[in-house]
């Protein structure tokens, strides 16, 4: 049940959770921007250094739910503090290590801790708002990740170029410590009212929940298939290069932030219907990108629409998972992040296979094909209803309009 915090105090809690998601999201993406610097310093190949990205993603996707299950009965404020404190240690290992194997282990561990933080952040955030504002609360928390992609990674890359990759990781350590202090000061206790892991798992992994998680997998696979290879597309098909590519990517990043913030209101109004509309919008955006790819101005507009539709549905996806999980909501909170990461991994692989066999446009067509499938899945999941349980036993009950 929601706490009786004033809206101003609740907004402070949500802002703190937003910052936590932003900082940890930046830590995840930072390696991408300084990959060549890490490879040179540790005397490994760039492809080997790339496994630091894969290891982190797998840690988040697999380790996050496992840690959430292990801490299912703990107060979520305690979980948040523990995840942040251990993240400080994990990132310090990265800063001080000269051994690749130890660095990789630290990345897998910090990825799992981010997954744990994500689930606890949603639980803590939803506990301080009334049911009619849950979609907007989810949107604020999720936006920390999207803003980290739009701003955190570019800024971290600049720091890495100026101070070395260890300097950029040191900055992350400082930011995590500050987030830890803010969480200690501002986030209230958030005890769990649901059952243990066994009881929650029955609801969190119910077919109705898995169906929406599959939809999330498809959505992120569609976006990743095209986005992973968007730079070759812009260079080869659109005919732009250099700094202008960064401008286009920044526009996309800004659109994802707008979409994730704004999508919360639509989740509150009707999450299931939002998912149908947004998947259609995503497919239409990818089709338009393929058709107008040679016209830079139109490509810029399409990237804006793609960002808004793609990330605008994420609050509704999270909302639906928690709603359909019913009493298993606490465990289910961490599952969408896992589904998204598996989708990103699959999409980038599928796009890579396509582009190896054809042109840069093939990756966009691959994303489009997956997005079309997601429309049918979104329509089918709209008929799913949450379990009928006593409101006293449900974790964070959500209105039926979801």
- What is the C-alpha end-to-end distance of the chain, expressed in Å? 17
Q: What is the pLDDT of residues 264-283, one digit of tens each?
A: 888 888 999 999 999 999 99
Confidence of residue 364 (pLDDT cuts 50, 70, 90): very high
Q: Is it the case that residue 149 has pLDDT exceeding 90? A: no
Query: For the segment 85-103, what is each residue's pLDDT rounded down to a tens digit?
Result: 999 999 999 899 889 999 9
pLDDT at 397: 42
Q: Compute the radius of gyration of the chain from its Cα atoms.
A: 20
What is the tally of structural domains in the chain? 2
- Taken in order 103, 104, 105, 109, is the CA torsion positive or negative? positive
Give the span between the Cα atoms of 138 and 314, in whole angstroms.
9
162 and 212 together in one domain: no
pLDDT of residue 160: 80
The reply to whether 246 and 227 lie within a common domain is yes
CA 388 to chain centre: 29
Examine the domain organization and report whether 366 and 274 are in the same domain: yes
Same domain for 31 and 81, yes or no, is yes
Same structural domain for residues 32 and 57?
Answer: yes
pLDDT of residue 401: 52
Percent of the chain whose pLDDT exceeds 90 = 43
- Give the CATH number of the domain where residue 64 resides: 1.20.1250.20
Q: What does the pLDDT look like over 311-362, one tens digit per residue?
A: 999 999 989 998 898 888 778 888 888 898 888 888 888 888 888 787 778 9
Q: Which uninterrupted H or E stretch holds 142?
A: helix 134-147
Does residue 110 share a domain with residue 160? yes
Question: What pLDDT, on the 0 to 100 scale, is given for residue 389?
Answer: 54
- The residue from 192, 209, 232 where one domain ends is 192
> Are 205 and 177 found together in one domain?
no
Task: Say yes or no: 266 and 133 in one domain.
Answer: no
Supply the pLDDT for residue 172: 92
Question: Per-residue pLDDT tens for 7-28?
Answer: 888 899 999 999 999 999 988 8
Distance in angstroms (rounded) separating the CA atoms of residues 379 and 328: 24
Range of the domain at 268: 195-402
| Inter-CA distances, 191 with 2, 234, 312, Å | 11, 49, 30
pLDDT level of residue 194 (50, 70, 90 thresholds): low
* Mean pLDDT of the chain, nearest integer: 86
Q: Are residues 204 and 154 in the same domain?
A: no
Please tell me whether residues 47 and 178 are part of one structural domain.
yes
**pLDDT by residue (tens digit) across 65-83?**
899 889 888 999 999 999 9
Interval 145-159 mean pLDDT: 77
pLDDT surpassing 50 at residue 400: no
Specify whether 80 is located in the same domain as 27.
yes
Helix (H, G, I), strand (E, B) or coil at 175: helix
Q: What is the mean pLDDT of residues 295-301?
A: 94
Over the stretch 38-61, which tens digit does the pLDDT of each residue have? 888 998 887 688 778 778 888 898
Question: Please, what is the Cα angle at 172 between 169 and 178, to 5 degrees?
Answer: 150
* Cα dihedral value 235, 240, 244, 250, nearest 10: -50
Supply the pLDDT for residue 386: 86
Q: Are residues 291 and 395 in the same domain?
A: yes
pLDDT of residue 242: 74
User: Given this model, what pLDDT does residue 196 score?
Assistant: 65
Q: Which of 192, 208, 230 is the last residue of a domain?
A: 192
Is-contact 129 12, C-beta < 8 A?
no
Chosen domain end from 192, 220, 245:
192
Q: Residue 3: its pLDDT value, please?
A: 54
Considering 237-241, 244-248, 369-373, the range whose residues carry the highest mean pLDDT is: 369-373
Average pLDDT over residues 153-178: 86
């Amino acid at each position: 049940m929601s706490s009786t915090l004033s809206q101003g105090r609740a907004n402070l809690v949500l802002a703190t959770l937003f910052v936590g998601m932003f900082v940890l999201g930046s830590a995840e993406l930072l390696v991408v921007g300084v990959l060549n610097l890490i490879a040179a310093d540790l005397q490994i190949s760039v492809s080997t250094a790339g496994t630091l990205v894969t290891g982190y993603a797998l840690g988040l996707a697999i380790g996050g739910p496992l840690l959430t299950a292990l801490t299912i009965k703990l107060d979520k404020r305690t979980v948040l503090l523990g995840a942040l404190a251990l993240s400080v240690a994990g990132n310090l290992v990265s800063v001080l290590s000269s051994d690749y194997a130890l660095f990789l282990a630290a990345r897998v561990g910090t990825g799992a801790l981010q997954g744990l933080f994500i689930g606890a952040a949603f639980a803590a955030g939803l506990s301080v708002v009334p049911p009619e504002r849950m979609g907007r609360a989810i949107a604020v928390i999720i936006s920390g990740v999207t803003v980290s992609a739009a701003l955190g990674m570019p800024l971290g890359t600049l720091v890495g170029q100026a101070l070395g990759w260890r300097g950029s990781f040191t900055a992350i350590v400082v930011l995590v410590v500050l987030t830890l202090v803010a969480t200690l000061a501002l986030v209230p206790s958030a005890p769990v009212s649901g059952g243990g892991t066994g009881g929650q798992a029955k609801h969190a992994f119910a077919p109705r929940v898995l169906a929406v998680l599959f939809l999330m997998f498809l959505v992120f696979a569609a976006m990743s298939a095209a986005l992973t290879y968007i730079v070759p597309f812009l260079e080869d098909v659109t005919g732009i290069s250099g700094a202008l590519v960064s401008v286009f990517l920044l526009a996309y990043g800004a659109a994802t932030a707008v979409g994730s913030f704004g999508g919360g209101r639509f989740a509150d109004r009707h999450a299931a219907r939002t998912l149908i509309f947004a998947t259609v919008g995503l497919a239409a955006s990818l089709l338009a990108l393929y058709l107008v790819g040679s016209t830079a101005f139109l490509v810029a507009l399409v990237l804006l629409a793609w960002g808004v539709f793609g990330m605008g549905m994420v609050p509704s996806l999270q909302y639906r998972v928690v709603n359909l999980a019913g009493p298993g909501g606490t465990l289910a909170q961490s599952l969408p992040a896992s589904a998204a990461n598996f989708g990103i991994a699959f999409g980038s692989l599928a796009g890579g296979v396509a582009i190896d066999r054809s042109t840069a446009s093939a990756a966009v067509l691959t994303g489009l094909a997956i997005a079309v499938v997601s429309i049918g899945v979104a329509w089918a999941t709209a008929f799913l209803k949450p379990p009928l349980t006593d409101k006293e036993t449900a974790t964070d009950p959500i209105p039926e309009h979801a």
